[in-house]
Amino acid sequence: MMAASTKIVEQEPGEIELLLPWHAAGTLNPRDSRKVEEALAHDPELARQYAVIREEYAGTIDLNESLGAPSVRAMLKLFAAIDAEPARKPRASMNMAARLAGFFASLSPRTLAWSASLGAVVLVLQAGIIAAVLMNNRPASFETASLSINEPITRDLAAASSPRALVRFAPDARIGDITALLDKYQASIVDGGKGGMFRLQFANAAMSKDEFSGLLSRLQNEKIVSLAVATP
Amino acid sequence: MASDDVLIARIAQGDRLAMQVLYGRHHVRVFRFGLRLVRDEQVAEDLISEVFLDVWRQAGKFEGRSAVSTWVLAITRFKALSALRRRKDAELDDEAAGAIEDTSDDPEVSVQKKDTSDALRRCLGGLSAEHREIVDLVYYHEKSVEEVAGIIGIPENTVKTRLFYARKKLAELLKAAGIERGWP
């Protein structure tokens, strides 16, 4: 160990050697990339080090991918904070990026709108997937994606047969609106995305059939809900 | 598909839908970068909302001199370092000690398993925050020398040498774990 440390301290990296990690990641400019490739072709020691770097590169990606993804709580917190922000007045003078955006918008507003809508749906879908994953990982309980941001509520699934509904949201429904609706109805998205339908589960397991029908009617009349039907 | 620059321009005008799309694109990487720095899932999740709230507020000032993803990672780094500073010194000391112990223990376990890739992962996790950061930015977030320099705020030559010595440290950790890779 000591000898290895001494050896390490003694070695001074060369210019090409320093660039190897970026070559492995494919982020070098063409000129530097050519220089590295030429050096690799003629220097077996450098090539050996490059092989090690590729292992590190793969290992780093592997490690980061294993970290998983954040819960929906982060998104809810963000958009609650954005909702609390003062309304923004359109700026009189736009910077280059904004002008560019305006240019693209004038060319293909439907494309951009569709991309954005798709993104919103993906986010909602993610909420459903996360909820489903939570259910799978914790057989007896899951954390809602809809109630208090700061105080997630855990409900006991084993003891409850909570009523569920399939819901399709209006295309212009915003995340903030959906979150508010879920909160209002004490509901969680437990599955979703198939055919644009989301499976909602309601917290009140003690609802009678009539009460649930009434709830579905109210849900159906919500502006951001296109369709709401009971489901097992 | 709208580019990140277009989304930022729209966000600057108060377009929440654009914000949702940008969030969808980048929040996982922001989370992972933050998590590797703060090593606390709860704190890393809190970072996400702080980072993207800054994006929402500062979008009008974004001049497009760097990629949006680079700008977002720079904000994440700043927020992560602020979060770390907010912790009590005692907590930091405990965590640092814990991290060091983990580093020395984990490779030994890996040696027993003779599992090089597992040892590599564990040793990558055992690097210092400074070294973890640069390794992640170059390998996982695929940032160029110039971009890393911009995110961390150090000269480009320092970026290159810092990664080199991070890799040396990684080699030391692996060697201590009995993993010889033919370099250095």
What number is the average pLDDT over the span A118-126?
53
Q: Mind listing the pLDDT tens digit for each residue in B58-105?
A: 999 999 999 999 999 999 999 999 999 887 554 655 554 444 444 444
Query: What is the share, in percent, of chain B residues with pLDDT greater than 70?
Result: 85
Count Cβ–Cβ pairs < 8 Å, chain A vs chain B.
203
Q: Mind listing the pLDDT tens digit for each residue in A71-86?
A: 999 999 999 999 998 8
Chain A residue numbers with beta carbons less than 8 Å from the beta carbon of B116 are 55
List chain B domain ranges: 4-86, 89-176
Query: Are the beta carbons of A123 and B44 separated by less than 8 Å?
Result: no
What per-residue confidence (pLDDT) applies to A183? Answer: 80
What per-residue confidence (pLDDT) applies to A139? Answer: 35
Q: Mind listing the pLDDT tens digit for each residue in A14-31?
A: 999 999 999 999 999 999
Q: Nearest CB to A61: which of B35, B56, B140?
A: B140
- Please tell me the distance from the alpha carbon of residue B43 to that of residue B93, in angstroms, as a whole number: 17
What per-residue confidence (pLDDT) applies to A213? Answer: 87
ipTM: 0.84
Q: Mind listing the pLDDT tens digit for each residue in B109-150?
A: 444 445 778 889 999 999 999 999 999 999 999 999 999 999
Model confidence, pTM: 0.61
Q: Mind listing the pLDDT tens digit for each residue in A123-133?
A: 555 555 444 44
Fold entry, domain B4-86:
Rna Polymerase Sigma Factor; Chain: A (1.10.1740)
Q: Nearest CB to B10: which of A48, A85, A101?
A: A101
Query: Are the beta carbons of B120 and A174 separated by less than 8 Å?
Result: no
What per-residue confidence (pLDDT) applies to A109? Answer: 43
Reported as a pLDDT band with limits 50, 70 and 90, residue A144 is very low
Q: Assign A87 to helix, strand or coil.
A: coil
Phi, psi of A85 (to 5 degrees): -70, 150
CA proximity to A77, closest of A190, A155, A153, A179: A179
Reported as a pLDDT band with limits 50, 70 and 90, residue A223 is confident
Q: Looking at per-residue confidence, does B117 or B158 come out higher?
A: B158
Distance from the B57 Cα atom to the nearest Cα atom in chain A, whole angstroms:
9
A13, pLDDT greater than 90: no
Closest chain A residue to B170, measured at CA: A56
Fold entry, domain B89-176:
Arc Repressor Mutant, subunit A (1.10.10)
Chain B residue numbers with beta carbons less than 8 Å from the beta carbon of A149 are none
